[in-house]
Amino acid sequence: MSDQKPVITSQKSGVTQIWSKTIIPTTREAPTDAEVPSHILLHRAGYIRPVGAGIYDYLPLAWRSLQKVAQIVREEMDAAGASEMLMPALEPFELFKETKRDETYGDNLFRVKDRKGRMNALAPTHEEVITDLMKGVLTSYKQMPLNLYQIQTKFRDEARPRAGLLRCREFIMKDAYSFHTTVDGPGGLGETYDKMFAAYSNIFRRCGLSFTAVEAESGPIGGSASHEFMVNCESGEDTVLKCEKSGYAANVEKCEIGLRPLPSKGYFAGDPSGPLEEVHTPDCPGIEDVCKFMKVKPQHMLKSVLFKVESSPADLAKFGEEYILAVVRGDHDVNEGKVRDLAEVSGLKLADPAGAIAKGFAIGFVSPRAAVGKKGVLLLVDRDAAISFDDVAGKSKFWVTGGDKKDFHVKHFNWQRDLGKDPLASGAQGDAKGGVSGTDEYMHVGDIRNALVGDPSPRAEDSKLIATRGIEVGHIFKLGTKYSDAMGLTFLDDKQAKQSVIMGCYGVGVSRTMAAAVEQNNDKDGILWPAAIAPYHVLITVMKPEDAAHMAAAKGLATSLNAAGIDVLVDDRDERAGVKFKDADLVGLPIRLTIGDKAMEQQSVEFKLRKDTAGKGELVPMGAVVEKCRVTLG
Ligand code: ATP
Ligand code: MG
């Protein structure tokens, strides 16, 4: 099985590099903007140097590691039946106009004007280029399924390039694109997606990384149509929510919440906490300001977020709604994907203030009441916001919400009394899932907020969600016909009828994976490379490089190691032992072999694992050292 592939095979001979013949500029100084271990260590150990914000030189050690990551990616993609190719990084801007990504990609898209004044883009990914290519070469259903990939430089003008190679403006990615006639069944998108899931699991396992595959926001075609592969790491940017009982893991954007207990009186039912009172709240732009001003906790606020439906005309005709008002508790965050799914629309975006104001919404001061009596507005209420009686406190729920006019809020809001329409009359008691049935469908109750630590698991009873952090190194995605529809990529089916090609896309951040490996594997002295992606497996430290016999022994040993498939770096520098050992730890190769006087006398070398920081190393006879290294590296 490919995930058990040995790191070392004698079928491929290793290479030797001499330290003084290459460039490994180790330094004690960390970059001033460095916040995370991989940035500090890759710089200090002489792997990378900054060229500009989010732009780096990959020095020889880094390049070797990157090549090893890339090779593992390549082998697993090839084994999964994909073919490698290469597309240009420079792309005519018209392609991005066809998919509207010239607008939707926003400022992250690098725009380049050429000498003729034409606009081009530096590719952030290649959906447009490959879809355009396929339009010329993919005609019959017989050519599919097809999966093409490349390993190439990508450009994104990130708002905040940071953390060294983790978030760059120029980085290396493997991106694959698959093409299908169907979603399900043999040759369908689902089958390739599953193969890519397995290939990605193999890739990150072979790289020696501890990772979690998490459900991610799935976009237009719904279901579990997207997974992110996260390297488990406390310094990671992404929060992963997990249920330990069922193994369910999802990122915050996607994570479902298990059933929250229904309020004992049902949704919305219960007496007011007091008479409705209007409060003048000038100069309070955010929820926190209002809370401070009114001396209430955010969990007593109702936060109303207005979305505009961005659906196809067919969807609009079907559902009618143009706006969705999503209401959550003030200390919760609205989850856009969940709003989209509960409303059953294919797309939405935050309402632009001008349009919303014209429709009668006092943006910044909107309450749930604003949805009532307006045509084309759907009101969605999160379960934690849809209550009037607080079972935990044993009394009426005290709510503050917007006053529906500038600079005003109201307190003692009560759903039944103040909404302007009794929610109970519409059958809004809610079913077990919290959905609202009934004839009047202007409002729904459901799960529309981001999950939090401690929320009930959606997959196991009596289990709560816990949070861990991770670094996203891979992302697989069922695209459906998003790009083929936008760009007109069709095929003729067996009845000669034209159909849109169904696509998937699959990315691995090659340079980010290398940095994530360092992020997960380091100590106070430096990097601790997983053997499979270390630039070299063994460092031979020569204590007296000026002694020809010592250098000859080192080179002889290196040759034998190479023959066994082991890559070797020989430290021949005329430096003090302390400097060499410090650098050895910093650079982080898995095995250090030291050749000194004592070892030479006894025809042996000192063998030391990088990860054994306490041990002094053991003397191993010269004749046995290659085998010992081979067995250790696996
Ligand atoms: P993020 O959420 O971290 O910005 P993304 O979801 O936009 O990433 P994708 O479009 O899914 O990224 O790209 C595929 C892979 O490329 C990611 O999983 C990640 O490993 C890598 N990647 C994305 N952006 C960067 C970047 N700025 N620097 C380095 N690697 C990146
Ligand atoms: Mg992603």
The predicted pLDDT at position 437 comes to 38
The predicted structure's pLDDT at residue 430: 46
Looking at the CA of 125, which ligand is closest? 1
Q: Is the pLDDT of residue 276 over 90?
A: yes
Q: Is the pLDDT of residue 613 over 80?
A: no
Q: Measured between alpha carbons, how far is 470 from 210 in angstroms, rounded to an integer?
A: 10
Backbone φ, ψ for residue 613 (5° rounding): -75, -30
Q: How far is 442 from 373, CA to CA, in rounded Å?
A: 10
What number of other Cβ atoms are within 10 A of residue 468's Cβ?
Answer: 18
* Cα of 175 from ligand 1 centre, angstroms: 11
524 sits in which H/E element: none
pLDDT at 319: 59
| CA distance between the termini of the chain | 15
167 lines ligand 1 (CB under 6 A): yes
Substitution site in 149, 165, 512, 519 for ligand 1 pocket (most atoms within 8 Å of beta carbon)? 512
Task: Give 449-489 as a DSSP string.
Answer: B---TTSBPSSSTT-B-EEEEEEEEEEEEEEETHHHHHHT-
CB 437 within 8 A of CB 423: no
Arithmetic mean of pLDDT, 586-599: 94
State both tokens at 447: 């799960």
214 has pLDDT over 90: yes
Pair 346, 411: CB distance under 8 Å: no
* pLDDT at position 3 over 60: no
Smallest CA separation from ligand 1 atom 24, residue = 167
Q: What average pLDDT does this structure show over 49-55?
A: 95
Ligand 2 ion: Cβ-proximal residues, 5 Å cutoff: 475
Q: Where are the alpha helices (DSSP H) in 45-85?
A: 60-79
When pLDDT is cut at 50, 70 and 90, the band that residue 426 belongs to is low
Residue nearest to atom 2 of ligand 1 (CA): 472
Q: Name the closest-CA residue to atom 8, ligand 1.
A: 472
Q: Which atom of ligand 1 is nearest to the CA of 509?
A: 20
Residue 478 above 50 pLDDT? yes
- Cis peptide bond upstream of 145, omega within 30: yes
Report the share of the chain in percent with pLDDT over 90: 70
Q: Is the pLDDT of residue 119 over 70?
A: yes
Average pLDDT of every residue of the chain: 90
Predicted confidence (pLDDT) at residue 603 exceeds the cutoff of 60 = yes
For residue 597, report the distance from its CA to the centre of ligand 1, in Å: 50
Per cent of the chain over pLDDT 70 is 94
Alpha-carbon distance of 382 to 364, in angstroms, equals 19
- pLDDT tens digits, one per residue of 377-422: 889 999 999 999 999 899 999 999 999 999 999 999 999 999 888 7
Residues 61 and 25: their CA atoms lie apart, in Å, by: 10
Which letter does DSSP use for residue 190 in this model? H
The set of residues, in sequence order, having a beta carbon less than 8 Å from that of 601 and lying 6+ positions away, is none
DSSP state of 209: -
Mean per-residue pLDDT for 575-584?
94
Task: Give the pLDDT of residue 314.
Answer: 65
Ligand 1 pocket residue status of 163, Cβ below 6 Å:
no
Global confidence as pTM: 0.85
pLDDT for the residue numbered 147: 98
For residue 303, which of 277, 276, 337, 326 has the smallest C-alpha distance?
Answer: 326
- Has residue 262 got a pLDDT over 90? no
- What pLDDT does 434 receive? 40
174 lines ligand 1 (CB under 6 A): no
Pairing of strands 323-329, 377-382: parallel
pLDDT in tens, 12-27: 899 999 999 999 999 9
Question: What is the DSSP code (8-state) at residue 254?
Answer: T
- pLDDT greater than 50 at residue 436: no
Q: Is 285 in contact with 364 (CB distance < 8 Å)?
A: yes
**Residue 317: what pLDDT?**
67
Which amino acid is present at 152?
Q
pLDDT tens-digit map of 125-155 = 999 999 999 999 998 899 999 999 999 999 9
The answer to whether residues 553 and 595 touch, using CB atoms and an 8 Å cutoff, is yes
Query: Is the per-residue pLDDT at 562 higher than 60?
Result: yes
| Ligand whose nearest atom lies closest to the CA of 507 | 1
Confidence of residue 123 (pLDDT cuts 50, 70, 90): very high
SS3 159: coil
- Pairing status of strand 466-480 against strand 502-509: antiparallel
Cα(472) to centroid(ligand 2), Å: 7
Residues 186, 208: Cα–Cα separation, whole Å: 32
Is the CB of residue 255 below 6 angstroms from any atom belonging to ligand 1?
Answer: no
Residue at 28: amino acid letter: R
Cα 316 to chain centroid, rounded: 32
Segment 530-546 mean pLDDT: 96
Q: Kindly give the number of the ligand 1 atom that is closest to the alpha carbon of 158.
A: 27
Residue 429 in this model has a pLDDT that exceeds 60: no
Q: What is the mean pLDDT of residues 38-48?
A: 97
Cβ of residue 477 lying under 6 Å from some atom of ligand 1: no
Please give the Cα distance from 455 to 382 (Å, whole number).
14
- For the Cβ of 227 lying below 6 angstroms from any atom of ligand 1, the answer is no
The CB of 512 under 6 Å from ligand 1? The reply is yes
Residue owning the nearest CA to atom 4 of ligand 1: 167
Using alpha carbons, select from 26, 92, 50, 58 the residue that is nearest to residue 582: 26
Q: How large is the average pLDDT for residues 551-566?
A: 95
For residue 70, the model assigns a pLDDT of: 97
Q: Which contiguous run of DSSP H or E holds residue 241?
A: strand 238-242
146-194 pLDDT, tens digit each: 999 999 999 999 988 989 999 999 999 999 999 999 999 999 999 999 9
Q: What is the mean pLDDT of residues 233-251?
A: 90
d(CA 168, CA 541): 34
**φ, ψ for residue 159 (rounded to 5)?**
-60, -40
Torsion, Cα of 549, 552, 556, 558 (10° steps): 120
Structure tokens at 544: 């007296």
